Structure 1
Amino acid sequence: MKQLTVMHKRSMNLLGSTLVAVLFMAACKVAAPPALPDVKPLPPEFLPKTDTSASMMDSTSAGNFHWDVFYSDSLLLELIDTVLKNNPDQQIALQRVEIMNQLVNQRRAAFLPSFQGVLSGGLDRFGEYTMNGVGNWDMNLSPNLSKEQIVPNPVPDLFVGVRSHWEIDIWGKLKAQKKAAIARLMAAENGRRYLTTQLVAQVASLYYELAASDIELDIIQNNVKLQQQALEVVKVQKEGGRATQLAVQQFEAQLYRTQSLEWMMKQRIVSIENQLSVLANQYDQPIKRQKFSFQDITPSPLPVGFPSDVLLNRPDIKEAELKLQAAKSDIEAIRAAFLPALTLQPMIGLHTYNTSKWINPESLTWGILGGLTAPLLNRRQLKADFNISTAEQKIAFNGYQQTLVIAYNEISTQMNNWSNLSQQFYLKEKEFNVLSTAVQTARDLYVGGYANYLEVITAQKGVLDAELELVDTRLKMMQAKVDLYRALGGGWQ
Structure 2
Amino acid sequence: MKKYFSIKIPLILFSAFLLTSCMARETYERPKEVVNENLFRTDLLPKDSVSLATISWRDIFTDPVLQQHIAKALENNLDVRVALQNISAADSYLKQSKAAYFPTLSAGPNYTFQTQSLNTQSGQLLNQRKYGDQFDISANFGWEADIWGKLRAQEKAEVANYLGTVAAHQAVKSDLVAAVASTYYQLLTFDDQKRIINETISLRKKNLETTSALKDAGTLTEVAVQQSEALVFNAESLLINIDVQIALLENTLSLLLAEPSHAITRTTIDAQKMPVSLALGYPANLLANRPDVKAAEYRLMNAFEMTNAAKANFYPSLRLTGSGGIVSGDLDNLFSANSLFANVVAGLVQPILNKRQIRTQYEVSLANKEVAYLNFRRSVLTAGKEVSDALKIYQSQDSFISLKRKEGEAYRKSVDYSQELVNYGLANYLEVINASVNHLNAELNISNAEYSKLDAGVELYRALGGGWR
| TM-score in terms of structure 1 length | 0.83
Unpaired segments ≥5 residues, structure 2: 1-12
CA 1:291 to 1:418, structure 2 compared with 1: closer, same or farther past 3 Å? closer
Q: Contact (CA 8 Å) 2:36, 2:284: kept in 1 or not?
A: no
Work out whether 1:431 is the aligned partner of 2:421: no
- For residues 284-295 of structure 1, the aligned pairs below 5 Å read 284-293=261-270
Alpha carbons 2:404, 2:445 under 8 Å: kept: yes
Match of 1:163 in 2: 140
Q: Give the CA deviation at 1:281.
A: 2.6
Tell which deviates more after alignment, 347-356 or 328-337.
Answer: 347-356
Structure possessing the higher radius of gyration over alpha carbons: 1
Match of 2:4 in 1: none
**What do the CA deviations read for 1:240-271 (whole angstroms, capped 9, x no partner)?**
11211111111111111111111111111011
Q: 1:49-448 to 2 correspondence within 5 Å?
A: 58-125=48-115, 154-293=131-270, 297=273, 300-378=276-354, 380-448=356-424
Report the Cα distance in structure 1 between the residues aligned to 2:287 and 2:204, rounded to whole angstroms. Answer: 52
SS at match of 2:356: helix
Shift, 1:447, TM fit = 2.4
Distance in 1 (CA, whole Å) between partners of 2:134 and 2:222 is 114
The alpha-carbon deviation at position 464 of structure 1 amounts to 1.2
Once the two structures are superposed, what CA deviation does each residue of 1:299-328 show, in whole Å capped at 9, x if it has no partner?
625221113322453111111111111111
2:138–2:324 Cα contact (<8 Å) kept: yes
SS of the equivalent of 2:383 reads helix
Q: Is the 8 A contact 1:446 1:452 kept in 2?
A: yes
Q: Note the alpha carbon deviations across 1:18-50, whole angstroms, 9 max, x for none.
A: xx9xxx9xx99x9998x999664545444999x
**CA–CA distance in 2 between the matches of 1:454 and 1:227?**
14
Structure 2 Cα separation of the partners of residues 293 and 403 of structure 1: 36
Distance, in Å, in 1 between the alignment partners of 2:196 and 2:41 is 46
Matching of residues 11-22 of structure 1 within 5 Å:
none
Does the aligned pair in 2 maintain the 1:414–1:483 contact within 8 Å? Answer: yes
Give the TM-score normalised by the residue count of structure 2. Answer: 0.87
Question: When the two structures are aligned, how many residues end up with a matched partner?
Answer: 446
Deviation, structure 1 residue 88: 2.1
Could you say if the C-alpha distance between residues 337 and 90 of structure 1 is closer, same or farther in structure 2, counting changes exceeding 3 Å? same
> Judging changes above 3 Å, is the alpha-carbon distance between structure 1 residues 32 and 61 closer, same or farther for their aligned structure 2 residues?
closer
Q: Bigger CA drift: 98-107 or 302-311?
A: 302-311
Deviates more, 1:324-333 or 1:154-163: 154-163
Partner SS, residue 307 of structure 1? coil
The CA distance in 2 between the partners of 1:177 and 1:256, in whole Å, is: 69
- 8 Å CA contact 2:106, 2:139 repeated in 1: yes
Q: Is the 8 A contact 1:71 1:77 kept in 2?
A: yes
Gaps of 5+ in 1: 1-19, 50-54, 137-151
Distance change >3 Å, CA 128–CA 254, structure 1 → 2: closer
Q: Which amino acid aligns with 1:317?
A: V
**Segment drifting more, 115-124 vs 313-322:** 115-124
3-state SS in 2 of match to 1:220: helix
CA distance in 1, matches of 2:304, 2:47: 38
Structure 2 CA distance for partners of 1:451 and 1:47, relative to 1, 3 Å: closer
Distance 2:118 2:232 in 1: 113
Q: Cα 1:255–1:313, aligned 2, differ >3 Å: closer, same or farther?
A: same
CA distance in 2, matches of 1:105, 1:42: 33
Asked if structure 2 preserves the Cα contact closer than 8 Å seen for 1:201 and 1:486, the reply is yes
